[in-house]
Chain A
């Protein structure tokens, strides 16, 4: 599906640009986007190193496994394929907590760490495992308590009540997350039988 969507966006984009007489923008956009990809990846190096370093400390001090033991019973139900003491659980919990608190730049390193741990238990290294898909479904539909950026935009646009959308946001995310978990569960059950 990724192959199809990737090709679809590329091909339709170029055709539409050609028909609109905007073919020059394609060259420029492609170069700029490639540059942006590099900038984004390099921009991650600093925070990634900081949080992975800190996470290593937390691991060696036994916090990550303590966290996994504490939240484990809830989280493990969502990840039945993982080992009881899987180190991925701690990283998954850290990632989701950082997401909920809106700490985007801490969430990514924890999430990537979780993926690396999940990959160690994945029997097919080039194909996504069910546990990874569950984790990403949780991650992309995850609740953020304070959508800080959009509140800032609303303040700037002189909203009478910039934070009034927090409730609606939490409701919408909650719906998306619940449905994602349920559908994921159904897919996993079906593929097992």
Chain B
């Protein structure tokens, strides 16, 4: 595991060293090319802005108003219906929050880990859940926003379905591995 950690630690310095040096050897005018590429950075970031504002406002209102909690509570009977442990209901807010907001989900996960203990069932499940999927809404908003796409077609359904599979797989594997 520490090997992979080392790769992560060295990856960026390595790229910063290797790419410009090799480009120079291949006779690329390194500084000019870098600047030409970097120019795009500003435009891309600005293009995302309206999409981000729109999505973040809607998500934030949904979370801060207590509507998310309400949705999580409405989903509880569904969990019982599948014969799942009542203890599992503790992770519903995290499962609903995960695709919506990265920082929000991290907050909920941290709170669950501290409340139940990192080595409890809920603590391990919350950790797995937090690490295993990405913030689907955020990614779609930013990536589609950057190229001006407004019709997502089935992208959101597919992303949310993957999140749901991730949730089910997390519950199953944590149960299998530790209990």
Contacts and interface: CB of A to CB of B under 8 A. Distances in A.
B90 interface: no
Nearest to B143: A115
Contacts of A101: 7-8, 11
Nearest to A147: B131
A175 B48 contact: no
A49 B147 CA distance: 17
A63 interface: yes
Interface residues of B, number: 98
B23 A60 contact: yes
Nearest to A44: B45
A186 B22 CA distance: 42
Given A153-B110, A165-B124, A137 B45 contact: no
A106 interface: yes
Nearest to A103: B11
Contact of A57 (B33, B56, B119): B33
Given A61-B26, A157-B113, A168 B174 contact: yes
Interface of B: 1, 4-5, 7-8, 11-12, 15-16, 19-20, 22-23, 26, 28, 30, 33-42, 44-46, 48-49, 52-67, 70, 106, 109-110, 113-114, 117-119, 123-124, 127-136, 139-140, 142-144, 146-159, 161-163, 165-166, 168-170, 173-174, 177
Interface of A: 1-2, 5-6, 9-10, 12-17, 20, 22, 25-26, 29-30, 32-34, 36-38, 40-42, 44-63, 101-103, 106, 108-109, 111-112, 115-116, 118-119, 125-128, 132-133, 136-137, 139-142, 144-150, 153-154, 157-169, 171-177, 179-180, 183-184, 187
20 contacts: A6-B55, A9-B61, A10-B58, A17-B61, A49-B41, A49-B42, A52-B37, A57-B19, A103-B11, A127-B149, A132-B144, A141-B162, A153-B118, A154-B118, A163-B1, A168-B128, A169-B131, A176-B132, A180-B158, A184-B158
